[in-house]
Structure 1
């Protein structure tokens, strides 16, 4: 953070021509530094906990290798549980976008793998998913636990940055004509899920939503399934 402030001190004159975009970038980078600091704090706490357990065992009467192993195993299980909870929470936040057509229309870059920050998040998710143990009780060594911990932290940071960017840019990457299509899709979506509308009105609205979004936003199979259940039972047949 100090390096950023020093740079701004030397190049303060750039703030005016760059304008709002510069503050958007600075905000994203600042958020990244803060997240990294939080990660480092968590790692220090984990180290302190491990040392405290070792000290407690050494002070007791049972200092056998088996006792130390039991303590280490219990500690790893607890840390693994916390990491898996964080992993699940970030995944849930991602699915809030991935499965909600209204959110995808409002924040389209969250589903666009061509967007650099979204692509980085999806790569981090793939790594974390690949390293995730089957359960918190699975026996893993300290190195494997550290690798999974770092992957989950990277996954969380990458998602936060992608989400901040999506909420900042919204639909600015689309042309005026494309933005009008997104607006129509949002309006039609309200009719498609409106229980007070007739079956015919909801069916027509649903089909037109899909037409308006075609070529603009790639809807996942899960998002389509969730939407059809909201419009159901009219279009299930």
Structure 2
């Protein structure tokens, strides 16, 4: 009986030890998952921050006129940050909890870091050179386009004035700066409704 009791006690202790070890493993796994999710959320926030900095240019044609390098795909620095953006966007998960595999997490981390660096380098160079890569007449066209766009967005101007300014600004920029589709859409959303509302009343005067 004594031997059986001792054997039973040892078996019970082993089962208890296994349960403790399983609990520890599960707890460690949960903690690791929480850390990984927090890490991904931090990376996604950094990713969003760079995208917002890019949108500041993409949705503001005035800034693109001031810093044309940001959309000039002939410039290696511009190509580098656009490529880095595309890679980071492609690796980004739809939710942080979906990216817990260490290899995927490290790939996303590297892509976000590369995007941050590439954008910062391109932006610094764009602010340094501004429009100095253009000739004198081309810089004059850029300045004219900038003034015309301000007029096109001016609520105090008549619809006819705004329409003429917008069309002429686009002609001045043609061949100098390639405006991204998002930039054109944002500009037209800001200007076109007011132009459209003024066209019927202007028609009889023409």
TM-score, length of structure 2 as denominator length: 0.82
Matched, 1:190 2:150: yes
Larger Rg: 2
Q: Decide which structure has greater helix share.
A: 2
Aligned length: 178
Matched, 1:155 2:155: no
Unaligned runs of 5+ in 1: 1-59
Candidates 101, 105, 126, aligned match of 1:145: 105
**Match runs of 1:36-115 below 5 Å:** 64-115=24-75
- Deviation string 1:2-55 (CA, Å, 9 cap, x unpaired) is xxxxxxxxxxxxxxxxxxxxxxxxxxxxxxxxxxxxxxxxxxxxxxxxxxxxxx
Superposition CA RMSD, Å: 1.6
Matched, 1:203 2:184: no
3-state SS of 1:137 partner: helix
Unaligned runs of 5+ in 2: 1-19, 198-206
Q: CA deviation at 1:127?
A: 1.1
- Deviation string 1:61-86 (CA, Å, 9 cap, x unpaired) is 98522111111110000000000000
Q: CA deviation at 1:139?
A: 4.2
Measure, in 1, the Cα distance between the counterparts of 2:160 and 2:82. 38
Contact in 2 for aligned 1:228/1:235 (Cα 8 Å): no
Matched, 1:231 2:161: no
Contact in 2 for aligned 1:132/1:148 (Cα 8 Å): yes
